[in-house]
Structure 1
Amino acid sequence: MADIQIVREFKVSPERLFRAVTEQAEILNWWGHDGWTIPAQNLDFSQVGPWHSEMFGQDGTRYKLSGQVTHVTPPRSVGFTWGWHDDDDRRGQESHVTFTVETTQDGARLILDHRDLPGDDVAGRHETGWTKGPMLRLERYLAG
């Protein structure tokens, strides 16, 4: 198993950052990658329970994820399971994601821990995916 950690700092309050990473109306502004559409989703990370996201890349490739929100501790952390679906809609191996929000001198820090990935190659792809997609989009979204 492999784990990744990504840390970003934002010039917003911890409460604002927590809303951005837990409330569906906010998440839809940064989830996925530039140019992707998200026609089907339940991306409410503000309460314990199931979530899912079906996205389409610019080339029409389908990306489907689902899991369970396992804990919500406002404005400090939210955790959820994560599993990709294949073309036959079978859910693959489960990993775990935690967003932790900390107060900084200038605002707030987001620590993204993605754990239990099935190997270094998969962890590397997830780190690239998070960094070049959602985390970059979240930075732009919160910068206004």
Structure 2
Amino acid sequence: MTDARLERDFPIPPARLFTYLADPALLLQWWGPEGITMGEHDLNFGRTGPWFSVFVGNESGRRFKVSGHVTHVDPPHSVGLTWGWHDDTDARGTESHVTFTVSATPTGSRLVIDHRDLADAESVASHNTGWTSTLRKLEKIAH
């Protein structure tokens, strides 16, 4: 198994950055890569329990479903969740694990995304691309 790790600094206090994870209305503003629209979803990383989201490609109309369980919420420090993509029959595939960690920096706060237990190097590359695109959306709104 292989892991992906991304870090971004934000010029806002950690508690404010954490709200972009834990408040569903704020999460929906940046969740998912650029070029997608959010379809159905149950996104609330402010509590433990099940979650899912369906991404819809703006150009292709193709649907991508991912789901899991929020395993821990430690405001304003971290959120952990399981992650599994669904196939075209809605069968859930291999499970991986994501942890969002927020920490203070001299200029604001840092968000670290650790996506662990990915299947292979190709999956790591794909998730790095998706998370990088998603973080660009967060960087535009997190203030």
Q: TM-score range by the shorter chain?
A: over 0.9
Query: What residue number does 1:52 align with?
Result: 52
Distance 1:126 1:110 in 2: 16
Distance 1:14 1:23 in 2: 14
Distance 1:80 1:88 in 2: 23
Q: Secondary structure at the match of 2:51?
A: strand
Residues 42-63 of structure 1, C-alpha deviations (whole Å, 9 max, x = no match): 1100011000001101110101
Query: What residue number does 1:136 align with?
Result: 136
Pairing of 1:1-144 with structure 2 (within 5 A) = 1-58=1-58, 59-132=60-133, 134-143=134-143
Distance 2:34 2:129 in 1: 14
Q: 1:39 offset after TM fit, Å?
A: 2.4
Distance 1:28 1:9 in 2: 20
List gaps (5 residues or longer) in structure 1: none
Q: 1:128 offset after TM fit, Å?
A: 1.0
Residues 64-92 of structure 1, C-alpha deviations (whole Å, 9 max, x = no match): 01000000000000000000000000000
Taking only the aligned residue pairs, the percentage that are identical comes to 49
Distance 1:42 1:79 in 2: 16
Number of equivalenced pairs: 142
Q: 1:121 offset after TM fit, Å?
A: 1.1
Q: Secondary structure at the match of 2:142?
A: helix
Residues 2-45 of structure 1, C-alpha deviations (whole Å, 9 max, x = no match): 00100000001101100101221011100112342212111100
Distance 1:42 1:141 in 2: 21
- Does structure 2 conserve the Cα–Cα contact (< 8 Å) formed by 1:8 and 1:110? yes
Deviates more, 1:33-42 or 1:97-106: 33-42
Deviates more, 1:28-37 or 1:122-131: 28-37
Q: What letter matches 1:33 in structure 2?
A: P
Q: 1:141 offset after TM fit, Å?
A: 1.2
Q: Please, what TM-score do these two structures have when normalized by structure 1?
A: 0.96
